[in-house]
Amino acid sequence: MMTALMTTEAFQRLSLALAIGVLVGIERGWQEREAAPGERVAGIRTYGLSSFLGGLCGFLQPATGPILPTAVFVFFCITILVFSSMQAAREEHYSATAAIAAISVFVLGFSAVVADMTVTAAGAVAITALLAAREPLHGFLRRLTWLELRAALILLTMTVVILPILPDEPIDPWQAINPFDLWIMTILVGAVSFFGYILIRIGGARAGILMTGASGGIVSSTALTLSFARQSIQMPALSPLLAAGAMLAGAVSLTRALLICGVVAPAVLWDLAPLLAPAAAAFVIAGGFAGALRRPDESPDFSPRNPLEVRVALRFALVLAVVTILTRVTLTVFGTNSLPVLAFVTGLGDLDAITLSVANLTSTQLPADAGARAIAVAAFANLLAKVILAAVMGNLAYAVRLAVATLAAALAGLAGFLLT
């Protein structure tokens, strides 16, 4: 019985090794489907045999020791490299992808027999997906700018290099600033903003005011509201659509606050959702209605600044630290009843900082319902600031439409509060 079980497992592992080679071979054959017979170094059969050979080496290793598998692997690598060099010289097209793929398939076949089958299968699928993504990846590199590459590197540096070396304990007299937690929050907002920036880059600057409004709300709804306000002066006929875009940006901003709370403090989300979700829905309905009234032939440009400039990241971290200290000191000196006033003042300039600060405090010092009310007050203050910006910097039609939508959103949020 034990021998039967071992034989069954051996067949399963060798079958997986063969399947890995066939899978990669199908992808490689599809990529070179236009090549004439005999012009390819490896196809479905070659990749299938390569992975099966690796599986046989793994199967024979307990009986023969490591010498035979090693010798077969070295001979296999030399053979693949020789034939790849001959093909490259004939076609004058130099690429190591095919040779590395073949060697990887051999190793995966070996791993299918001696290691975990699930991990090996997942690795094979990942390699095949990477090989198949050649054109999208090359197109992405052609469109990638230095500004975007630098932003991605900054985000990676913030996450992989700086975060692990920060102390994970409070360092201030009020026990409010934990550098590790503070930097995680900064990375969170930076990542969300960078994702919004990429969405706008993919859609293009003229992809439409409504799409721009929704995407721009991820980056900065305040910046988008101000940008659209200025454009409403230059193009008054587009004021309804510009206002619709600003409404959608407001909805995205409120939704972003809910998502931040869902990640940082889920308990606050349950109390905050009845306040902000109806307001966000009111903005979506108002924006959709206003956007359906008229469709212009072309949309104005909106190119947001890269959200991951070093100064921007450091500025947000500084603002968040100040808001966190003020919140903790205010709670200590005046109690939770004073927090809504602080939230209102802070929310006039930035919603994310007070949202992150309050959400982080709910796990230690602040009840979840009090934190939810403070974030709701900050959100209302932020919406009010946008209306003021629209009135000062935009034309009357743009400001009035945004003010009416904001009032409707505030009433919807109030209704949600009264019903809970």
Which tokens sit at 78? 């030399």
Question: So what's the pLDDT on residue 38?
Answer: 52
Single residue among 139, 167, 194 that ends a domain in this structure: 139
| Structure confidence by residue, pLDDT tens digits, 110-137 | 999 999 999 999 999 999 888 888 777 7
Q: Is 158 found in the same domain as 128?
A: no
Q: Is 390 found in the same domain as 344?
A: yes
Which tokens sit at 350? 């930035």
Domain ranges, residue 31:
2-139
Nearest in space to 407 (alpha carbons), one of 371, 389, 378, 383:
383
Question: So what's the pLDDT on residue 199?
Answer: 61
Number of domains in the chain: 2
Q: Is 124 found in the same domain as 26?
A: yes
Q: Is 161 found in the same domain as 63?
A: no
Q: Is 150 found in the same domain as 133?
A: no
Q: Is 154 found in the same domain as 126?
A: no
Alpha helices in 204-238 (DSSP H): 209-234
Question: So what's the pLDDT on residue 90?
Answer: 72
Single residue among 106, 121, 139 that ends a domain in this structure: 139
Q: Report phi then psi at 302, rounded to 5.
A: -145, 105
Q: Residue 156 corresponds to which amino acid?
A: L
Question: So what's the pLDDT on residue 316?
Answer: 65
Q: Is 73 found in the same domain as 175?
A: no
| Structure confidence by residue, pLDDT tens digits, 25-81 | 888 777 766 555 555 555 788 888 899 999 999 988 888 888 888 899 999 999 888
Are the C-beta atoms of 64 and 49 separated by less than 8 Å?
no
Distance CA 221, CA 233 (A): 19
Distance CA 414, CA 252 (A): 19
Are the C-beta atoms of 39 and 83 separated by less than 8 Å?
no
Nearest in space to 399 (alpha carbons), one of 379, 382, 384, 378:
384
Q: Is 263 found in the same domain as 401?
A: yes
Q: Is 185 found in the same domain as 44?
A: no
Q: Is 90 found in the same domain as 169?
A: no
Single residue among 124, 139, 154 that ends a domain in this structure: 139
Residue ranges in the chain whose pLDDT is less than 50 = 1-5, 205-206, 296-300, 302
Distance CA 101, CA 47 (A): 9
Q: Is 260 found in the same domain as 368?
A: yes
Q: Is 317 found in the same domain as 265?
A: yes
Q: Who contacts 319 (Cβ-Cβ below 8 Å, separation ≥6)? A: 350, 353
Q: Which pTM was predicted?
A: 0.56
Distance CA 180, CA 222 (A): 28
Question: So what's the pLDDT on residue 202?
Answer: 65
